[in-house]
Structure 1
């Protein structure tokens, strides 16, 4: 099985099981297929009212399916076979982690169509094996609630923040350090060096977020040190 970073898109189509694959994977999907303008068709399937993230992505055509079990799956199967038989597609990208598409991938390959699957790690071995190639869509690790709240608080305050202010600001978010086993914010932060960086102790000591970059959030000048994100 070959994991592909990019595949030529001549006479190719993209079909996204949008009720199974979140829109946060859109960039990763298009990095494999190439831009939607190079594809003969690029569609996402599902109940459009519940798929705002996909609706907002330019170049993709939404195919509405009624809410209900397997409605989107059936529509994808019908369209894929029709486009392979009458639409001239010789390559189809199927974005899903659903093993129900295993037989579709096998049948398309019997017709001479190259099938590239794109899905998360949870995608079954059967679906992966049924595809000509499979590309794993990596998911970001989900932050614990307090870590996520801390990240938001720090970023909203310019990228670095006085540790002394955390008690008040985090208390408003329902995070009371007195109820945590660490008991102090410094102890909590220093136990997570992959996420937070603290200054040495002092009344003006600050904390910075050093975890994974947050998309679409501009890094504002630090209110304390006057530089983006701190020194």
Structure 2
């Protein structure tokens, strides 16, 4: 098609956006699209993971969800295989790898050795070896305030609250947030530091957390 009498731009680098949906929250989809869009034309947009665990990604506009089932590291393997296959084609020049897992350093190195530019996109927890394996690195600016807001929003969905031993799997599944992303050593200390937003009742394994 022609727009305003001009031919469309065809000189932009063709980019494959590949997202580890089991490591990166769908709440960051907008930021990811903006940052990866700066690299060129997003010819491929895919997110990988167990569809039952990566809530929200099925609604991310323009991104294809690749369901990888429940196998161990299934999402990582599927993403790496697709990246390798795409690297042997003629179209893709740049890969945007979205994850904070250090294991993707091997994939980044492989793609660079094949002559591709590799833009890593992830959170502050991404290890240095992964960041340095990429041609460039973009930090998703996830602040402590962002994390707190996302956790509170999810906890408010739990009308009856959650037993303390259900908090970790619930938050990890819904938001891909774990204690390694927070300053506190355990979830009880996290909620005790925010009693203006949460009510804590019960003791030991019967401790229940409810958003106010």
TM-score by length of 1: 0.57
Higher relative contact order (CA 8 A, sep 6+): 2
**1:61 pairs with 2:64:** yes
**1:74 pairs with 2:77:** yes
**1:16 pairs with 2:30:** no
Q: Aligned residue for 2:177? A: none
Gaps of 5+ in 1: 1-7, 153-169, 177-231
Deviations 1:21-73 (A, max 9, x none): 011111111111128x9311100000112222111111000111011221000
CA contact (8 A) 1:9 1:39 kept: no
Secondary structure at 1:63 match in 2: strand
**1:125 pairs with 2:140:** no
Counterparts of 1:116 and 1:9 in 2: how far apart (Å)? 16
Alignment of 1:5-154 (within 5 A): 10-34=13-37, 38-86=41-89, 88-141=91-144, 142-143=147-148
Kindly state the Cα deviation for residue 87 of structure 1 after the two structures are TM-superposed.
5.0
Q: Aligned residue for 2:171? A: none
Secondary structure at 1:138 match in 2: coil
Secondary structure at 2:52 match in 1: helix
Gaps of 5+ in 2: 1-10, 157-194, 202-212
Q: Aligned residue for 1:203? A: none
Counterparts of 2:125 and 2:12 in 1: how far apart (Å)? 26
Deviations 1:83-102 (A, max 9, x none): 01025211000000001111
Q: Aligned residue for 1:187? A: none
71-80 or 25-34, larger mean C-alpha shift: 25-34
RMSD, aligned α-carbons:
2.8
TM-score by length of 2: 0.62
Q: Aligned residue for 2:167? A: none
- The count of corresponding residues between Structure 1 and Structure 2 is 145
Secondary structure at 1:50 match in 2: coil
Secondary structure at 1:128 match in 2: helix
